Structure 1
Amino acid sequence: MDQGAERRVAARDIAGGQFRYYDFVMAAFVAILLLSNVIGAGKVAVVHLPVIGGWPFGAGILFFPVSYVIGDVLTEVYGYARARRVIWAGFGATVFMAFMAWVVVALPPAPSWTNQAAYATVFGQVPRIVFASVCAFWAGEFVNSYVMARMKLWTAGRHLWTRTIGSTVLGEGVDSMIFYPLAFWGAAGWTTHLVVVVLFTQWALKVGWEVVLTPVTYAVVGWLKRAEGVDVFDEGTDFSPFRARV
């Protein structure tokens, strides 16, 4: 697309079109998704709050919400169909990562290699949690992208912050409502009360991150629209998640 002032176009009118930075945004989305699951998910950190004291949290929450910010950028700049392709790419990468981790951890270690226990602690994954994570990611990201695209039509492209925050409230809500019950309901050490408390705490923190990062989202969206020269609206888009075509 020619660089310059962006022009409003319907998503169906640019099917098959080429963009300068779409593949880079896709790569960033998949990379952050995988790294937040591998590096962040395995560590429980603690922050010391006034009055409350130490408050534990999963370290992955610092970076996983960035994938939702990038999802917002993808839908806002390139439209739902191209965001859908990226979500499927992330889904496939996550499934392969889980499969690879299972295979590598299960391989018998060489007698001279004494790090198997530590390796399994870091990269070993509980099948129930992996299943919950993949299901929650898939559903939450598609809800986020769908709401983002629909709200853009309703608002005629105005008030970007309402779309980024509104879509995250619903998308992260679906993500949390699926992940925590599937992963921890009835698990040892997890009472129903604890599942509910952690669910809503994590949901609120993720939405809070979206609010904090709103100025960054505005800057990235504005720059990409100017660079690509278009402002895509999902008029006539097939919103089925079970398609790969743009």
Structure 2
Amino acid sequence: MIKNILNDKPTKLFVIFAAFFVANALIAECIGGKIFSLEKLFGAQPLSFSLLGESGLAISLTCGVLLWPLEFVMTDIINEYYGPKAVRRISYIAVALISYAFLMFYMAMHVPAADFWYGTGVQDGVPDMSKAFNAVFGQGMWIILGSLTAFLVSQIVDVTVFHKIKKVTGEKKMWLRATGSTVISQLVDSFIVLFIAFYLGKGWSIQKVLAICMVNYAYKFTVAVLLTPVIYLIHNRINKYLGKETAEKMQLAAMGKEINAD
């Protein structure tokens, strides 16, 4: 029985997807504390523009956005072959494990450090390793709450929109259901995390939250469109790995339909 489970291709594929999905989400949360300049990444000077009455804006993004687009691609692929129940289950597992990780970070920050450790980074320009450690792993509670809430809500939105589009288009126009569900869920994700973390947590004005949300969403929308060919590539590779008949059965089952066995 165990051998059959381990050798079952759909099962192996699901384990790989689930592991990557959770790992990707956790890494994105861990590196999300760093803000980078998209303009500098491409060798240009940071822009300075106004939006919704907020001036001095530039395309400054959290490093988490480097990974989140891949998360939504995985959501659509899992949705395509395993259905919304599987996506929700993996999403709940991801939230639970991210929460567990942050609890461990909190404990690590508050256990007493060895005396010799404080100065071990002096030669690398880090005079106090304990403060550096706490600065890297000590995200604010509002940011953590906003990020986890945004992730969970946006996943549910993505699943819902994906299946509503698929019910109308059938198996055709995969680009529409994949990219369409992603651009909508990314908008929800961008607003919720900023609203909770900075409107509720930091007292920012709603205009500032909306302005930064639009800047972040413009990036996410662009990346979502650019990643559309990747979805087709992964889809074709999965069909070859599973075999056409198995892949078709899984896709029908994901939509709540079953193929009657002969």
Q: TM-score range by the shorter chain?
A: 0.7 to 0.9
Task: Report which of the two has the higher share of helix.
Answer: 2
1:223 to 234, 237, 248: 237
1:76 to 67, 74, 80: 80
Which stretches of structure 1, 4 residues or more, deviate above 6 A after TM superposition?
none
CA distance in 1 between counterparts of 2:152 and 2:163 reads 17
Q: Count residues in correspondence.
A: 221
The answer to whether residue 27 in structure 2 is matched with residue 43 in structure 1 is no
CA distance in 2 between counterparts of 1:145 and 1:38 reads 25
| 1:132–1:182 contact (8 Å) kept in structure 2 | yes
CA distance in 1 between counterparts of 2:229 and 2:159 reads 19
2:208 matched residue in structure 1 = 194
Structure number with the bigger relative contact order (C-alpha 8 A, sep ≥ 6) is 1
After superposition, residues 128-207 of structure 1 pair within 5 angstroms as 128-185=142-199, 188=202, 190-207=204-221
CA separation of 1:66 and 1:102: change in aligned 2, threshold 3 A: same
With the length of structure 1 as denominator, give the TM-score of the two structures. 0.82
CA separation of 1:147 and 1:188: change in aligned 2, threshold 3 A: closer
CA drift of 1:51 comes to 8.8
The one-letter code of the counterpart of 2:13 is: Y
1:29 to 5, 8, 21: 21
**Structure 1 residue ranges without an equivalent (≥5):** 1-16, 238-246
CA distance in 2 between counterparts of 1:189 and 1:121 reads 22
CA drift of 1:59 comes to 1.9
| 1:164–1:210 contact (8 Å) kept in structure 2 | no
CA distance in 1 between counterparts of 2:60 and 2:117 reads 33
The one-letter code of the counterpart of 2:29 is: N
| 1:77–1:221 contact (8 Å) kept in structure 2 | no
Rg: which structure is higher? Answer: 2
The answer to whether residue 91 in structure 2 is matched with residue 100 in structure 1 is no
| 1:46–1:57 contact (8 Å) kept in structure 2 | yes
SS, match of residue 185 in structure 1: helix
CA drift of 1:167 comes to 0.4
RMSD over aligned CA atoms reads 2.3
1:86 matched residue in structure 2 = 90
| 1:101–1:125 contact (8 Å) kept in structure 2 | no
| 1:102–1:125 contact (8 Å) kept in structure 2 | no
CA separation of 1:204 and 1:150: change in aligned 2, threshold 3 A: same
| 2:28–2:67 contact (8 Å) kept in structure 1 | yes
SS, match of residue 108 in structure 1: coil
| 2:142–2:201 contact (8 Å) kept in structure 1 | no
SS, match of residue 203 in structure 1: helix
CA distance in 1 between counterparts of 2:247 and 2:12 reads 12
CA distance in 1 between counterparts of 2:156 and 2:139 reads 25
Task: Note the alpha carbon deviations across 1:94-140, whole angstroms, 9 max, x for none.
Answer: 11111111111122222222111000111012111111111110010
CA distance in 2 between counterparts of 1:110 and 1:142 reads 44
The one-letter code of the counterpart of 1:192 is: I
CA drift of 1:93 comes to 1.4
2:47 matched residue in structure 1 = 52
